[in-house]
Amino acid sequence: MALNKANYLLTKDAENDLVEIARYTLQNWGKAALLRYQKELTSSFHAIANGPALNRQPLPQLSDVHVTKSQKHFIFYILQNEVPVIIAVIHEQRDLVSQLMTRLTP
């Protein structure tokens, strides 16, 4: 993971989520939609890094995991040394808990 200009990190799993989202959006909605959606997600990542993103803790047993929503996707992240680490970007129609748990188990 490398820190980017916005002071947040993406795990490999989160990067893979973004690739999957890009493929699906491009195939089903076209390039213009893909560019809009990428801009929205990037804006959400910046909001997480800079503090104004509305967030909550999705499960009491996962108190270190935070979540915010961007369009049709939930963005899950943890804080490491005050830096948000985005661990998952999951579509609202997917099984969020099982998808998230695969990211948190070794």
Residue 51 confidence (pLDDT) above 50: yes
pLDDT digits (tens, 9 = 90+) for 59-85: 666 778 889 999 899 999 998 988 999
Residues 6+ apart with CB under 8 A from 84: 7, 8, 9, 48, 49, 66, 77, 78
Range 33-47 average pLDDT: 94
Give the predicted TM-score (pTM) of the model.
0.83
Residue 58 confidence (pLDDT) above 70: no
Give Cα separations from 91 to 3, 4, 7, 52, 62 (angstroms): 24, 24, 24, 22, 19
- pLDDT number for residue 4: 52
- pLDDT number for residue 7: 87
Comparing 102 with 16, the larger pLDDT belongs to 16
- pLDDT number for residue 60: 64
- pLDDT number for residue 73: 93
Comparing 19 with 100, the larger pLDDT belongs to 19
